[in-house]
Structure 1
Amino acid sequence: MAKTARRPVNRYGNRPTMKDVAARAGVGLKTVSRVVNGEPGVTPDTERRVQEAIDALGFRRNDSARVLRKGRTASIGLVLEDLADPFYGPLSRAVEEVARAHGALLINGSSAEDPERERELALALCARRVDGLVVIPAGDDHRYLQPEIAAGVATVFVDRPAGGIDADVVLSDSFGGASEGVAHLLAHGHRRVGFIGDMPRIHTAAERLRGYRAALEDAGITPQEGWVSLGVTDPDRVARAALTMLSGPEPVTAIFAGNNRVTVTVVRVLTEHPRPVALVGFDDFELADLLSPGVTVVAQDAAQLGRTAALRLFQRLDGTVNRSEQFLLPTRLIARGSGEIRPAV
């Protein structure tokens, strides 16, 4: 039968304390506290001695005592749209890495693009006394969070702004990215460009549609009826929209896809289409570079979105910022071949 590893104990049979670490390292208690909590003011040599004492004794910080002292739970909540969406993987990981660096635990959940579920999840996290929230909004009314924010729950919104309240928000440049993607198609000779996007009430979908229209307007092109389709990103709906745009006497010769889920469905439709059709998608996705041709995309940095939001959250928790701010992160056009297909003569 395997033996259970014994916890480290000091000479009194108790778990090692900061006093034990201080005695072994030959330093004061405050110095140990600074090393344990990552505070400045300790020389590299002293920090090394303290760390060696910590390792030798098997000391572990008592977070329960720290919570009582600071009035925090050392945890933050992350409310995502869909945990299964590849876009949110790097975003979530980046938030978790920042939280870990600040000694906090991350708890996340999915709203499934349902405003009521978002509200229930956010308030459930607040009821468990998280110190802060990072929210990808599903709804457009966040006044329900005002009492929580007033009570000290730091809150930062990502990807879409909050509705009805003044709060920090970190966004990708959806308007600028979409405008650049459509301009790329126009530069390769296309004059009939379709747009398939998400539900119009979603901020990112509306901004990408605005960018699409702006690029066409700059080129002196008025989008025709049937060139634009907004709605759920269900594959059946997207496939029907693409097939409709690709049929008729004057079909589109290029499609701009509003997000990665739309792009994947459009790729499937185009593989069975009899003539070449150009495609640019908003959001990169796995294996996009391995298709033939590779899929040209407007890439946003999901990890940087999460990192920026989490760092802002901990700035709020540390009391170093007061006014709300909007952070707009740039996108990047990655040309791989599908967006460079020219219209058939």
Structure 2
Amino acid sequence: MRHVAALAGVGVKTVSRVINGEPNVSAATIAKVREAARTLDYQPDLHAGNLRRADGRTRTLGLLVGSVDNPFAGAVHRAVEDAALGRGVAVFASSLDDDPDREQEAVSAFLRRRVDGLILTTVSESQAYLAPELRRGTPIVFVDREPAGIVSDAVVSDNAEGAATATRHLVERGHRRVAYLGDRLAIQTARERRRGFLEELGRAGVATRDLPVVDGLHDEASARRAALELLSRPDAPTAIFSSQNLVTIGVLRALRELGRHHDTALVGFDDVPLADLVEPGITVVAQDPQAIGRLAAQRVFARLDGDDAAPARTIVPTRLIERGSGEIAPREV
């Protein structure tokens, strides 16, 4: 900073005021300081500047998503970044990979960097370890999954209702042997989607005791193996509800390997890339990850701007997109 001041012919304090965007600096002085900074390739030390900044902020957010491999997480990430960019805020992002230890390690890393707020997808049984941060006034917004052990802002999809919509769609087309392929039950969203599936079948008067319900699937490979096994049975399901986008892709691979993609209905929870380009197209209950990320970022910034209202749970609706696979009628048995 001293070098920038010398080159611009101003004092160090003036350089500091320009860098931090403080008022009452002439346009000509601002231009000189910025030109000197560019010439010297000067980048301000945000952590050091934070010690002197009146609001004590670092202009950063910590974002924890499920996995960067998942398009849903990528869309949430982009929406948060877009919202933060307009406020001159940088986003530090990390993947959870549904590992409780990784969750707490990532959050600790964010806090060591003194981020101004947190947007978190979590998997631990309890997030009570964050209670001290809430007491300190750190804004924390949970996305996709609601927190346990503490009360905080959350932005989530209507998982149970979305699963019920998918199930109802299949039942209304005459399906009674509907299989459920779901994620790990340690994950809150997986439990909610399973509940929505079973409760909707109950409302429709469909016995669920003998229907295949397969949990613990988390990627394409495990879902493909489970679907291949189910479809090879004499009493194979006439329809499948897959409760996660990577599971849907695994099921689709199994259906196509066995040549069953035209006689077995499929509805997936969450959209998948190129779902409208395969034949038949994949019917899905789509979430809105862009809205989830945008609303979460808005909530964090509202808290930083002084909003002290009670924590809010914001539910983002899902919508059914019919593309063909979910409209296949039950085959003759």
Q: TM-score range by the shorter chain?
A: 0.7 to 0.9
CA distance in 1, matches of 2:10, 2:304: 37
Q: Which amino acid aligns with 1:272?
A: E
On the 8 A contact 1:8/1:58 being kept in 2, the answer is no
Structure 1 residue matching 2:54: 3-state secondary structure: helix
Percent same amino acid at aligned positions? 41
Equivalent residues in 2 for 1:25-104, closer than 5 Å: 30=23, 58=34, 65=49, 68-104=53-89
CA distance in 1, matches of 2:234, 2:252: 22
Q: Which amino acid aligns with 1:284?
A: D
More divergent stretch after superposition (218-227 vs 127-136): 218-227
Deviation at residue 249 of structure 1 after TM alignment: 3.3
TM-score by length of 2: 0.86
Deviation at residue 145 of structure 1 after TM alignment: 1.1
The question of 1:132 aligning with 2:117 is answered yes
Q: Which of 240, 245, 250 matches 1:265?
A: 250
The question of 1:342 aligning with 2:321 is answered no
CA distance in 1, matches of 2:304, 2:281: 44
Structure 2 residue matching 1:146: 3-state secondary structure: helix
Deviation at residue 300 of structure 1 after TM alignment: 0.4
Equivalent residues in 2 for 1:281-320, closer than 5 Å: 281-320=268-307
| Unaligned segments of structure 2, at least 5 residues | 38-42
Equivalent residues in 2 for 1:201-280, closer than 5 Å: 201-275=186-260, 276-280=263-267
CA distance in 2, matches of 1:32, 1:258: 57
| Unaligned segments of structure 1, at least 5 residues | 1-6, 21-28, 34-49
Q: Which amino acid aligns with 2:55?
A: K
Q: Which amino acid aligns with 1:181?
A: A
Q: Which residue of 1 aligns with 2:9?
A: 12
Aligned in 2, Cα 1:241/1:19: closer, same or farther, shift over 3 Å? closer
Q: Which residue of 1 aligns with 2:97?
A: 112
CA distance in 1, matches of 2:120, 2:64: 5
Q: Which residue of 2 aligns with 1:147?
A: 132
Q: Which amino acid aligns with 1:105?
A: A
Q: Which residue of 1 aligns with 2:309?
A: 322
Q: Which amino acid aligns with 1:298?
A: V
After superposition, what is the alpha-carbon deviation per residue over 1:294-324, rounded to whole angstroms, capped at 9, x for unaligned? 0001100111111111110111111213311
On the 8 A contact 2:83/2:294 being kept in 1, the answer is yes
Two-structure CA RMSD over aligned residues (Å): 2.8
On the 8 A contact 1:198/1:231 being kept in 2, the answer is yes
Q: Which residue of 2 aligns with 1:189?
A: 174
TM-score by length of 1: 0.83
Aligned in 2, Cα 1:248/1:70: closer, same or farther, shift over 3 Å? same
CA distance in 2, matches of 1:53, 1:292: 63
Deviation at residue 243 of structure 1 after TM alignment: 2.5
Q: Which residue of 2 aligns with 1:41?
A: none
CA distance in 1, matches of 2:6, 2:132: 44
Aligned in 2, Cα 1:113/1:18: closer, same or farther, shift over 3 Å? closer
Alignment: residue pair count: 316
Deviation at residue 213 of structure 1 after TM alignment: 1.1
Structure 1 residue matching 2:266: 3-state secondary structure: strand
Deviation at residue 232 of structure 1 after TM alignment: 3.1
